[in-house]
């Protein structure tokens, strides 16, 4: 499942290449024809991420809300602005010619494509946002709907705080700490509850708990306030790094050279995630995997006590 950093990167790509443009909005698949028609031909005013959800606001005030869920992804074609200097982008001078495409979902990658622009939709494209230079295709989302401003505000209000979507980190952290420490539910489950804190998925959950040396079964009410605050502060750091790099690198012991290598080598990125049965990198104890609220939880029974 795409986690918070990916959705923020999608919002940034949309902001750079489609916000401020009048868009042709369609549903090649046909399942979202009415919603697409509602915003077709309008200027995209803003694209914002809150946790794992994307909110695209059009000039009428209507908002396209997208939750990628487990399998959703956006494909970008045409003239694309690199999110960071030296990053990949597609397009050419003059009339846009499609040379590469970028897929942004659970991971990011360039994919080969043809020369024609705009490209013909391939497969089950729920929504297409298109300017004369750039196309963004949405596939496989869990949620995709057009809301009025009040509906969009209500959807955002249901979410917990997101460090990358607030101007007041301290106040947002207070909300997260209060929500986490007031419930008698395992902290490993609470970190995945998007009403407690928005954007954390399976990878970040496992890694945050390991970095805090916190037993994932600890009830929220038994998590000390300073530990809960440290979880928020660490989440803010990891999220910002993920947004910048486009990958989740959660090991703080890596050298600069190793961090660069981890960009392309997933085996270097994490302390416990997907390392079941392997020795913990700190204690040597085999990493355990179990189900918690239907999702796999990875943790070290020696370090996290």
Residue with tokens 């609220």: 293
- Report yes or no: 246 and 233 within 8 Å, Cβ to Cβ: no
Q: Is 2 a catalytic residue?
A: yes
Exposure of 255 by Cβ count < 10 A (0-12 exposed, 13-18 middle, 19+ buried)? exposed
Catalytic residue among 31, 245, 259, 295: 295
Measured distance CA(73)–CA(82) in Å, rounded: 18
Is 296 one of the catalytic residues?
no
Q: Catalytic residue among 9, 12, 52, 269, which?
A: 52
Is residue 295 annotated as a catalytic residue, yes or no?
A: yes
279 strand-pairing partners? 286
Q: Among 3, 126, 128, 141, which one carries the catalytic annotation?
A: 3
Q: Which one, of 263, 272, 190, 202, lies nearest residue 231 by Cα?
A: 190
Q: What are residue 276's DSSP bridge partners?
A: 287
Which residues, 6+ apart, have CB-to-CB distance to 302 below 8 Å? 280, 283, 285
Residue with tokens 């028609």: 37
- How far is it, in rounded angstroms, from Cα 17 to Cα 35? 22
Give me the residues paired with residue 299 across strands.
Answer: 288
> Has 244 been annotated as catalytic?
no
Each residue of 43-76: b (16+ CB within 10 Å) or e? ebeebbbbbbbbbbbbeeebbbbbbbeeebbbbb
DSSP 66-83: EE-TTT-EEEEEES---S
Could you write out the DSSP letters of every residue in 200-269? --HHHHHHHHHHTT--TTSBGGGS-HHHHHHHHHHHHHHHHHHHHHSS----TT--HHHHHHHTT-GGGT
Q: What is the DSSP letter of 42?
A: P
Catalytic residues: 2-3, 52, 295
């Amino acid at each position: 499942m795409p986690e918070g950093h990916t959705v923020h990167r999608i919002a940034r790509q949309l902001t750079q290449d489609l916000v401020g443009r009048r868009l042709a909005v369609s549903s090649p698949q046909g399942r979202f024809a009415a919603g697409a028609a509602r915003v077709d031909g309008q200027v995209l005013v803003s694209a914002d991420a809150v946790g794992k959800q994307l909110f695209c606001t059009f000039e009428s005030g209507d908002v396209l809300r997208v939750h990628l869920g487990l399998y959703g992804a956006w494909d970008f074609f045409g003239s694309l602005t690199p999110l960071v200097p030296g990053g990949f982008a597609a397009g050419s001078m003059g009339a846009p010619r499609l040379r590469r495409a970028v897929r942004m979902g659970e991971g990011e990658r360039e994919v080969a494509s043809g020369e024609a622009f705009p490209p013909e939709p391939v497969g089950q494209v729920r929504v297409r946002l298109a300017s004369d230079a750039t196309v963004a295709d949405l596939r496989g989302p869990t949620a995709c709907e057009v809301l009025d401003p009040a509906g969009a505000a209500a959807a955002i209000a249901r979410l917990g705080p997101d460090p990358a979507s607030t101007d007041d980190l301290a106040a947002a952290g207070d909300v997260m700490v209060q929500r986490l420490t007031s419930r008698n539910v395992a902290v490993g489950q609470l970190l995945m509850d998007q009403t407690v804190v928005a954007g954390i998925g399976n990878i970040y959950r496992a890694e945050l708990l390991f970095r805090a040396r916190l037993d994932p079964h600890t009830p929220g009410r038994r998590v000390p306030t300073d530990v809960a605050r440290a979880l928020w502060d660490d989440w803010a750091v990891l999220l910002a790094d993920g947004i910048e790099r486009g990958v989740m690198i959660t090991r703080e012991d890596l050298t600069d050279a190793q961090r660069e290598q981890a960009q392309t080598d997933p085996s270097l990125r994490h302390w416990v995630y997907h390392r079941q049965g392997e020795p913990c990198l700190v204690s040597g104890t085999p990493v355990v995997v179990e189900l918690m609220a239907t999702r796999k939880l990875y943790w070290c029974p020696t370090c996290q006590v």
